[in-house]
A and B are shown apart, each in its own frame.
Chain A
Amino acid sequence: AQKVTQAQTEISVVEKEDVTLDCVYETRDTTYYLFWYKQPPSGELVFLIRRNSFDEQNEISGRYSWNFQKSTSSFNFTITASQVVDSAVYFCALSEARGSTLGRLYFGRGTQLTVWP
């Protein structure tokens, strides 16, 4: 079965702190894709990153970095030197490459990140 777990419901940090958002996934497919999205209070989901299951290389984009580990089925997201504008709900999602679940994104429940000034 496909499942994405974001165990942290809410995280609060003070500006300039580093914060890591955890994501654990389950899938039987050998080819799959993992995503992170940001949902600010406006409601629109903003795409942040996509990784495929064959590429475990970690990625850094500015203050954002992602750590993908197939051995632990995790795809964690770290924000370095957090800012107030980072406050949002962050969703991890999974997409499988074949079968009856084609096209679907399976989302975790999201982590509400609040960054205080």
Chain B
Amino acid sequence: EAGVTQSPTHLIKTRGQQATLRCSPISGHTSVYWYQQALGLGLQFLLWYDEGEERNRGNFPPRFSGRQFPNYSSELNVNALELEDSALYLCASSLGTVSYEQYFGPGTRLTVT
């Protein structure tokens, strides 16, 4: 069974540009989560999508947004990139909510110059 996949592996952007990160969940999983792992800040929750709806978001500005498609894959968009957005962005999926473990993808390394 294929795990969570993310693309691209690496992304280099300049300040002010927009970045789009993609995630495909494990087959059968309906929930997708996004986390940011920035140096010195640890793993922080960004967004949670379930059945196409945004269910929860972390303490991030509105320029971080996303969506979930009918096939449960997801996109994370970061507008007006800032240097501090440089981080590893991890996507996870789960069978359901709360009580289910989240399985993570390999991440997208975003570098903002």
Interface residues of A (CB under 8 A from B): 33, 35, 37, 42-47, 50, 52, 91, 95-97, 100-110
A43-B107, A44-B107, A103-B48 given as contacts; is B43 within 8 A of A33 (CB)? no
Cβ A104 vs Cβ B99 within 8 A: no
Nearest Cβ on chain A to B89's Cβ, whole angstroms? 11
> Which residue of chain B lies nearest to A106 when distances are taken between CB atoms in the complex?
B45
Give Cα distance in the complex from A80 to B90, angstroms.
29
Name A103's contact: one of B97, B106, B107, B109 (CB within 8 Å). Answer: B97
Cβ B42 vs Cβ A52 within 8 A: no
Cβ B106 vs Cβ A47 within 8 A: no
Question: Which residues of B from 33 to 67 have beta carbons under 8 Å from A?
Answer: 33, 35, 42-45, 48, 50, 55-56, 58
Cβ A43 vs Cβ B88 within 8 A: yes
Give Cα distance in the complex from A107 to B109, angstroms.
19
Give Cα distance in the complex from A59 to B103, angstroms.
20
* B105: Cβ under 8 A from any A Cβ: yes
Cβ B55 vs Cβ A110 within 8 A: no
Most A CB atoms within 10 A — which of B50, B92, B99, B101? B101
Name B33's contact: one of A46, A47, A103 (CB within 8 Å). Answer: A103
A91: which B residues are within 8 A, CB to CB?
A: 43
* B98: Cβ under 8 A from any A Cβ: yes
Give Cα distance in the complex from A105 to B99, angstroms.
11
